[in-house]
A and B are shown apart, each in its own frame.
Chain A
Amino acid sequence: MTPLLLVAGAIVGIGAAVATGARDARIASLGLVGLLVAAPFVADPLPAPLPLAFGVAAGILAGFLVFVTARRVPDGPAPTLGLPATLVAAAAGYVAGLGATAVALPRLGPDAALAAGLAALAVAVGPIAVTRDIFRLGPALIVLYTAGTLVLNAVAGTPAPLTSIATGVLVVALAAGAAVVGSGAATLGGTTGPDEVHHRRPAVARPRGDAR
């Protein structure tokens, strides 16, 4: 495990904490950019230059999509934990991941990838499980997805170039989906969570001709 891997993993953890814990949505999207740009470097051996560049470009594009939406989003409820507590949670996840070296879990990738993955996982689960602000859900989902790819790197080793490229494509697709959700919520003037009590319209109130 090289210092470069540790630093890249730490940047991922801090980016994940900022993306899910910052009060300002624009700062959160900048944290997301840091996370997504650093994540492809947490692999040993490093991916080939083309998939690596693709991953970085996809991360910047995804962060930009979320940032553009963040500018339109009205102030919603503050994150449940707040930034300091989220940073501590990410640090705890990072240390726990590094500590996995002691129990020698079967894996083919670096410990730093597992550490960064657990750090991102630790801060992403909360906003996804209890979503009070629908805009927060998008960045949290991207953080969770990045955590999954990092854990995959840790257990299965550096992915094949095709998998790296597909990972970048899905990051952009998720960011676009999050942007659509955020824009829609901003247009409607509210950012309620997806699990709000479901008020089903009575069937007779639906317009004739299935126009829903």
Chain B
Amino acid sequence: MSLLPFLAVATAGTVIVTLLRDRRWLGTLAGIGAVLAALGAATAVRPDTPLGIGGGALAGSDHLRVLLVLCLGGGLLVLIVARLATWQPSAPGALLGGAAGMGLALGLAGTPPALLAAAAATVAASALALGSPAAPSRIRALARELRGATTSVVVGLVAAGIVPAAASTPGRVPGLAEPGLAEPAAAALVFLGIGLVLAHRFGAIPLHARVSRLADATPSGALPILAAWVPATWVIVILGWAPVALGPSSADLGLERALIVALALVTLLFGAVAALIQDEVDHVVAYTIVADAGIALLALASLDPAARDAARAWVLVFATTRTAMIGWTIAFRAAFGTGRLRDTAGWMRRAPALGVALAAILVAVVGWPGLLAWEARLAILRSATGGPVLLLAYAGSLGTGVAICRLLVVGLGRPSPIVAGAVGELPRLPAQPAGAASGPAAPATAPARVRAASLPGRVRVLAASAGRDARPALELNRVPLRAFVVILLAGLALLTAVGAFGIDAAARAAGPSLPSFVPFAGG
């Protein structure tokens, strides 16, 4: 029942901010207020008694709470960074609508409803982010997202349906006298189908064009939900089901698992190389997402519940660090007017706070032995690979860190003319007009003086004075404010990487997102 208030608040917030998207200041206030309200409701999600709905169940879990809090917290900070750069009317609605869909997908017990809800989350977030204002690139991106979500859910539904059918009718295939032989063949089909869905939703090579094009077309404030959090939801749903349904057949799936591992290795290595050769910071981030799709594929290939639990922890670190990186790119682009690395050599001279934030994100992405981010990633790699392949996968999994190191190295170079002409990060004060130096002017008439002396009058005078002073100060200090918020984002990523918020325990706890095919398993 604790999930219902969150769903209600997030849905209502989506409607309100979508209706107010043409009002710049009101829309901003409504967006921030609605996300804060949804964040508050998300903190109340608990693993309580499941609510029975139509033969299924809806329930919260610790993992869902952590996921929603990180998604909305990180998303809110990215919205603030984006708002300090420009007005993106569709971003708050996309964040809230996507978060509501994620809550539904991970709160519903059973694989088919969870897959359907994950697809609905993808459709809702995409339509809200890309539908308005209409532009050719956005309409095309939305059409691609609809196509991807539909094909993914169709393949996922059929795969989820094949397993119980094959398991309940052994030996029905003519020519196969021995009962049970039908199941490995069905399991192989299902495994490859689910692998395809996971690869497409995460953007694994060769299905990676989706992520890069999304980074081009999507308003940057909505990119975290579309490129990181919604794919993470698909991963959690699929990994919650696959080891349970296919684990018993894992011994018969040697070739299929080898195929998925090979795809994962190609994705890890080529994704890292692609991230290293990109010139646009947006594309660097996009290809780090592509590269990490390899780790998600390895978690699937292992068909091991231990790897699933590690992946449930890792995916939170992944999505939070990518959210922080997207926030960093927004601040970077706004600070220098371009995202091209060849034009922004030496950027760290003008933006040292962004440099500190990026270094913190690097630490969160790579981690060190003993840290949740490191251990979860290594557990996934070990569960699916061994020997030289493990070494290769390990090297590939560090590709994101190498790509961030390249950004830092570029920042340490000789400043380019664009960087030299950019505004620095030091706070500035607005110049005081001569008449305003001694404070607000005194009221002229006696009744006005009496009104001003009263408590409400004083509050009004103070508010007017603060508002008059705050506006120019805000305009002057957008650069340091953006840098400050990006540092907060990097801090959130670091906290996630060290396993704060009880991530490790939440990842291992049972809940609706660890379902068997039909019955409710946990809560």
Residues of A whose CB lies within 8 Å of any CB of B are 51, 103-108, 128, 131, 134, 137-138, 141, 144-145, 147-149, 151-152, 155-156, 159-167, 169-170, 173-174, 176-178, 180-181, 183-185, 187-188, 190, 192-196, 198, 200-201, 203-204, 206-212
Give the docked Cα–Cα distance between A4 and B22 (Å): 51
- Within the complex, the shortest CB–CB distance from A6 to chain B, in Å, comes to 21
Assess whether A173 is in contact with B147, with CB atoms less than 8 Å apart. no
Contact B280 A203 (CB under 8 A): yes
Give the distance to chain A from B284, nearest Cβ to Cβ, in Å: 12
User: Which of the residues B86, B88, B131 comes within 8 Å of A180, measured between beta carbons?
Assistant: B131
Cβ-defined contact, A188 with B136, below 8 A: yes
Q: A148-B158, A170-B153 are in contact. Are A176 and B127 (CB under 8 A)?
A: yes
Q: Once the chains bind, are B338 and A163 in contact (CB under 8 Å)?
A: no
Contacts of B143 in A (CB 8 A): 131, 134, 137, 181, 193-194
Q: Which 7 A-B pairs have the closest CB atoms?
A: A148-B154, A162-B56, A161-B54, A156-B161, A184-B134, A194-B143, A162-B54
CA A206 to CA B141, docked complex, whole Å = 18
B123–A173 contact, CB under 8 A?
yes
Beyond A137-B146, A138-B146, A162-B110, 14 additional pairs, beta carbon < 8 A: A106-B165, A144-B151, A145-B153, A145-B154, A151-B158, A152-B158, A155-B162, A156-B162, A163-B113, A184-B139, A190-B136, A193-B143, A203-B280, A206-B339
Across the interface, A184 reaches (CB within 8 A) one of B123, B138, B155, B166, namely: B138
6 sampled A-B residue pairs with Cβ under 8 A: A148-B153, A161-B56, A181-B139, A181-B142, A185-B134, A211-B88
How distant is B87 from chain A, measured CB to nearest CB, in Å? 8
User: Contacting chain A: which of B212-220, B370-378, B500-508?
Assistant: B212-220
B85 within 8 A of A: yes
CA distance A208 to B86 in the complex (A): 9
Contact with A along B328-343 (1 / 0, CB 8 A): 0010011001111001
Q: Which of B114-122, B433-441, B483-491 contacts A (4 or more CB under 8 A)?
A: B114-122
Q: In the complex, A137→B149 CA distance in Å?
A: 13
B518 at the binding interface (Cβ < 8 Å)? yes
A149-B157, A210-B334 as given contacts; A156 in contact with B146, CB under 8 Å: no
How distant is the Cα of A164 from the Cα of B82 in the complex, in angstroms? 39
Residues in A neighbouring B146, C-beta threshold 8 A: 137-138, 141, 174, 177-178, 181
Known: A145-B153, A184-B134. A177 touches B113 (CB 8 A): no
Q: Tell me the bound Cα distance from A167 to B158 in angstroms.
A: 13
Does the CB pair B110–A160 fall under 8 Å? yes
Nearest Cβ distance between residue A47 and chain B, in whole angstroms?
10
- Residues of B within 8 A of A (CB-CB), count: 71
* Among B8-16, B38-46, B168-176, the stretch in contact with A: B168-176
B108 CB-CB contact with A under 8 Å: yes
Query: Of all chain B residues, which has the CB nearest A50?
Result: B54
User: Of B116, B161, B182, B186, which one neighbours A166 at CB under 8 angstroms?
Assistant: B116
Whole-angstrom distance from the CB of A186 to the nearest CB of chain B? 9
How does the 8 Å CB contact mask read for B92-129 relative to A, with 1 for contact and 0 for none? 00000000000000001010110011011001101100
Interface string of B420-436 (1 = CB under 8 A from A): 00000000000000000
- In the complex, the chain B residue whose C-beta lies closest to that of A121 is B154
Min distance, Cβ B112 to any Cβ of chain A, angstroms: 5
Measured CA separation A155–B158 after assembly (Å): 8
Q: Which residues of A contact B213 (CB under 8 A)?
A: 198
